[in-house]
Structure 1
Amino acid sequence: MNKTELQSLQPVVYQTLHNALKNDSLSHCYLFVGPTGTSKFETAVLLAQSLICPETEDGWACQQCIQCIRIEENNYADYILIDGSKESIKGERIMNLQYQFAQTALEKAGRKIFIINSCENMTLKAANSLLKFIEEPSANLTGIFITTSLDNVLPTIASRCQVINFKPLSKEVYFRKARDSGLDELNAHIVSQLVNSPAEIVSLKENETYQSALYHFIEFMFEYLKSPENGVIYLQEYGFREAIKENERRKDRDTFGYFLDIADIFVNDYFSGHQPDDESWSSLLKTAADKNFDFTSFLQTISETRDALNRSANIGLLTDQMLYKMMGGTS
């Protein structure tokens, strides 16, 4: 995350921090609030870098000097990162932070910075201990708390922070980023509906189970629209049968999950009138419409199958049940 990306993705956040950095009017504590995938953590790291970077430009870190790199690598003596997304934050961890920051700053910049990610996962003991610490902060200390929900943060902590709200990224932003990453229009369109953060675009782009699901869905629909029997035969022969090995079962489950997600996007494209610049996808939508394909019932079947997927490990059986409903079955 650099300042240009931040300005593009979160313009209000950018301007708020830019003014504070430029005018040297930073709060001693910030609380970054917003949904998953809104670059809260990346922005916190950028702010930390900007506070210690010797080569700042218009207040922002260069992100290339050794000090910025050390922050990025979590290897800076006066910088502490506590990640509550992996486990609860206990009182002992906060006491260690307080002890370390009670000492003289070790780095030349003289600033001490801490980031607490998923701060809502602090135990009450940890939160109360930290509260005493931030009530009377030293002049060279900056704390950054990160959460997905303000309601889950202890009010006495939130009240001592400047709250900065991060807005959810639009699907259009994800689509542009997917296209910039090299995806064709159809994949960019589908991926943008599935991800919750820019980082997920790359991982999904390279995900074999996603690619397999997209291929199988398109082939299945072409066959099904020729005749429902053809669609049944296709999935029974090439689709999701119950695997013997555990790793194959997990892979089939993931692929089937993506298959349902893609089916959902297909139906939504029909109802919204959206047609990506892709011949096979557009052809499927047109053929389905011409043949009076029952999109409403299909959407219901997708929803019911997804619910069943959360409860059942037998992908072969779920596939058969889905096909049965598509063929007009009632149970």
Structure 2
Amino acid sequence: KNHTTWIKNNQSHLYQLLVQSLKKQRLSHAYLIVGQKDLLEIVNWIASLIQIQSDDENQLNEQVNRIMNSETIDVQILDGSKESIKKESIIQLQHQFSQSAKEVTGQKVAILHHVENASSQALNALLKSIEEPSGDHTTYLLTTNNMSMVLPTIISRCVILETQESHQQELISSYEKMGISHLSAYSLSTLTSNETLAKELLETLDLEKLSDLVLDFIEEIQHNIDLGCVHFQLNHPNDRDAIKIVFQMMAYQFKINHLNELREITLNTLSKINRSVSVALLVDEFAANVKENLS
């Protein structure tokens, strides 16, 4: 299998971002890769790029195969999908990496697959390593399919890479068959690929109500900006998780409607949600930015 061609076709944004970072010598020492499937395949390719420090296709494919066959001791995988990642495993990995690297470039890569399944003691040991890089060229590649389950202290120290879900459109179509709006189906597709869980989330999160709020807002601001913003400010949810879903839906809908500047405002608001003191203040700021853009 040509792993690099697969990455270029299925994860083109990750390919471009990482190759550019490599060329500019700006690769991070810690990445969190978020996605629903193919995480190990993606992370093995990233590890290969870091190890050989080149985007040469043949070398990359060869290195991916070596990693998959456990033929390089400078790439170690702790797999949280099989069992909880323990503190002892992290310490053992760090000890192993404290020995001299065997590969030519001297790059070592620690892969923690499904890091949400690591014990709190393991995460504390991991945090120390990420916070205090020892200068031994170790890169940490963490994966998860549920970022809300990863400690904020881990997230804040990593560069976040979100994968392109090639099956997302199929997922949206299958969820729409449940008789829900396109926006609710889109939102569910970002949360789960399990239909039973999707039905539960649809009710728990009241996605149809959030979808109506978004569509009403977008419709109203086309006719009366002030009224549309006031209605949104009065009716938005105060729960952080719910308002995050609202803004994700909004960014998606603005993209469909080719309203790129409004999408940019929405994405900028999304990036502030975890840092914002108050949801209401954040919504007020968002409304002011929308008014300024449309006036």
The one-letter code sitting in structure 2 at the alignment partner of 1:96 is Q
Could you tell which deviates more after superposition, 79-88 or 13-22?
13-22
The one-letter code sitting in structure 2 at the alignment partner of 1:6 is I
Deviations, residues 125-166 of structure 1 (Å, cap 9, x unaligned): 100111111111134111100000111111111111000111
1:79-118 paired onto structure 2 within 5 Å = 79-118=75-114
Q: Structure 1 pair 132/40, CA: closer, same or farther in 2 (3 Å)? A: same
Q: Structure 1 pair 48/98, CA: closer, same or farther in 2 (3 Å)? A: same
User: For 1:57 and 1:98, how far apart are their aligned partners in 2?
Assistant: 27
Contact 1:31 1:163 (8 Å CA) reproduced = yes
User: For 2:12 and 2:96, how far apart are their aligned partners in 1?
Assistant: 35
Deviations, residues 55-85 of structure 1 (Å, cap 9, x unaligned): x445x562454x5532221221211111000
Contact 1:85 1:117 (8 Å CA) reproduced = yes
Contact 1:53 1:61 (8 Å CA) reproduced = no
List alignment gaps of at least 5 residues for structure 2.
172-188, 190-295
List alignment gaps of at least 5 residues for structure 1.
175-195, 197-331
User: For 2:167 and 2:78, how far apart are their aligned partners in 1?
Assistant: 29
Contact 1:49 1:61 (8 Å CA) reproduced = no
Per the alignment, residue 7 of structure 2 pairs with 6
Q: Structure 1 pair 171/153, CA: closer, same or farther in 2 (3 Å)? A: closer
Per the alignment, residue 148 of structure 2 pairs with 151
User: For 1:42 and 1:61, how far apart are their aligned partners in 2?
Assistant: 16
Q: After the TM superposition, which parts of structure 1 deviate over 6 Å for at least 4 consecutive aligned residues?
A: 171-174
The one-letter code sitting in structure 1 at the alignment partner of 2:32 is L
Per the alignment, residue 34 of structure 2 pairs with 33
Match for 2:70 among 54, 60, 74?
74
Per the alignment, residue 159 of structure 2 pairs with 162
Q: What is the CA distance between 1:171 and its match in structure 2?
A: 6.4
* TM-score scaled by length of structure 2: 0.53
The one-letter code sitting in structure 2 at the alignment partner of 1:26 is L
Backbone CA RMSD of aligned residues: 2.4
Percent identity of equivalent pairs: 37
Q: What is the CA distance between 1:88 and its match in structure 2?
A: 0.5
The one-letter code sitting in structure 2 at the alignment partner of 1:25 is R
SS in 2 for 1:130: helix
Deviations, residues 13-67 of structure 1 (Å, cap 9, x unaligned): 22211211222210000000112x2x2221110111122338x445x562454x5
Match for 2:59 among 40, 62, 65?
62
Contact 1:7 1:14 (8 Å CA) reproduced = yes
Per the alignment, residue 280 of structure 1 pairs with none
SS in 1 for 2:129: helix
User: For 1:44 and 1:120, how far apart are their aligned partners in 2?
Assistant: 16
Contact 2:80 2:113 (8 Å CA) reproduced = yes
User: For 1:85 and 1:166, how far apart are their aligned partners in 2?
Assistant: 18
User: For 2:148 and 2:164, how far apart are their aligned partners in 1?
Assistant: 16
User: For 1:42 and 1:132, how far apart are their aligned partners in 2?
Assistant: 27
User: For 2:61 and 2:157, how far apart are their aligned partners in 1?
Assistant: 33
Contact 1:53 1:68 (8 Å CA) reproduced = no
User: For 1:153 and 1:170, how far apart are their aligned partners in 2?
Assistant: 24
Q: Structure 1 pair 173/83, CA: closer, same or farther in 2 (3 Å)? A: same
User: For 2:52 and 2:131, how far apart are their aligned partners in 1?
Assistant: 27
The one-letter code sitting in structure 1 at the alignment partner of 2:52 is C
User: For 1:122 and 1:61, how far apart are their aligned partners in 2?
Assistant: 34
Per the alignment, residue 19 of structure 2 pairs with 18
Q: Structure 1 pair 61/19, CA: closer, same or farther in 2 (3 Å)? A: farther
Q: Structure 1 pair 86/14, CA: closer, same or farther in 2 (3 Å)? A: same
- Figure out how many residues of one structure are paired with residues of the other and give that number: 170
Could you tell which deviates more after superposition, 165-174 or 136-145?
165-174
